[in-house]
Copies of this chain bind each other. A is one copy, B any other.
Amino acid sequence: MASSQTIRVNLAERSYDILIGSGTLDVFPQFMADRNSSTHVVIITDSNVDDLYADALGDSLTEQGYEVQMMVVDAGEESKSADAAIDLWETMLAEGADRGSVVAAVGGGVVGDLAGFVAATFARGLAFVQVPTTLLAQVDSSVGGKVGINLSEAKNMVGAFWQPMGVLVDVNVLGTLPAKEFAAGMAEVVKYGVIMDLDFFEYLEQNVDGINARDPEVMQKVVERCCQLKAEVVEADEREESGRRAILNYGHTFAHAFEAATEYGQLLHGEAVSMGMVCESRLAERIGLIDAAATERQVKLLEALSLPITPPELDPEEVYRLMWHDKKVADGKINFVLPTKIGETTLTSDVKSRDVLAVLEG
């Protein structure tokens, strides 16, 4: 490995390390051996990542004497479904997985969430490891233990909190990411700056060129900072009970509704989050929480990172209806995470439907 850093996520007996670096995939067998004595590993990946990375990772385990079961789902959000979970459960059972097996999720957010849900529920819970291969998964979904699948009208509506026993991040894999996927991951990166770290937001503004060139040194810093911030939040509120973890949902109430309204095909999650952040910052403006300049600063950075900021044409009433089918709804209220300035947010359910609709109408 050229360089690497370890970030610890402290969650009592569920604590684990995130190893971040260039070339860390080379240490995968050792990373597994250090964490679990099981010799049966179920690798879950998708049809894009299989040939690129997962197959070779499987071989590296086999060489070390592991019994490896490879399971490949179709690339894309459609695989984050109950049907895909059932297929995986049945295949694992048929091919001899048992409660001593370990699941390794090798892929993006869809693979990590699906594989994590399958790990959380097979035989009432298997140990699992995340090997995120998209920027989005590296900075967000692979850390923190949220796993799950979508229902037809609501993302992530079914799932669990199930912490991995380790996360292995290799920033070199970002080189093979399609441009749209890379940009989509940057939406979540920008989010961390807006919700909790003005300095980091400024670092991003100052390093747009290095980011867009996927400079490994810049990207390692970016991923490290995001994982540190996420670890802090998860440590403070593992199960999203105190409200602290909810700040990670900035942009997501609108984003999930945009994704649902376009049936999870048209928009990448990060693209929807980019649009969602702009909408929610404008909503914050309408109710007097933030000034317009702060929204424009987000718009400028998101655009410099090639992210879309305007949602596709959708019926505002339909989008608003879909917001009610979100996990963030509790006791009949939609809970919004709204920015008060760059680096700070507030939680509020005191938002009028006419303000939400006005933002959607643009």
Binding site for B on A (CB under 8 A): 38-40, 82, 85-86, 89-90, 93-94, 96, 98-100, 120-125, 146, 148, 151-154, 156-161, 239-240, 324-325, 327, 329-332
Contact = CB atoms under 8 A, between A and B. Distances in A.
A86 B83 CA distance: 9
Contacts of A146: 124
A151 B330 contact: no
A93 B157 contact: yes
B82 A157 contact: no
Given A98-B332, A124-B160, A152 B327 contact: no
A100 B328 CA distance: 10
A161 B98 contact: no
Nearest to A326: B98
A86 B149 CA distance: 11
B151 A124 contact: no
A186 to B, nearest CB: 26
B121 A121 contact: yes
B161 A327 contact: no
Contacts of A325: 93
Q: Which 5 A-B pairs have the closest CB atoms?
A: A100-B330, A100-B331, A98-B329, A123-B327, A124-B159
Given A94-B153, A121-B160, 16 more contacts: A38-B331, A82-B85, A82-B89, A93-B153, A98-B327, A99-B330, A100-B332, A121-B158, A123-B158, A124-B148, A124-B160, A124-B239, A124-B240, A125-B160, A125-B161, A125-B239
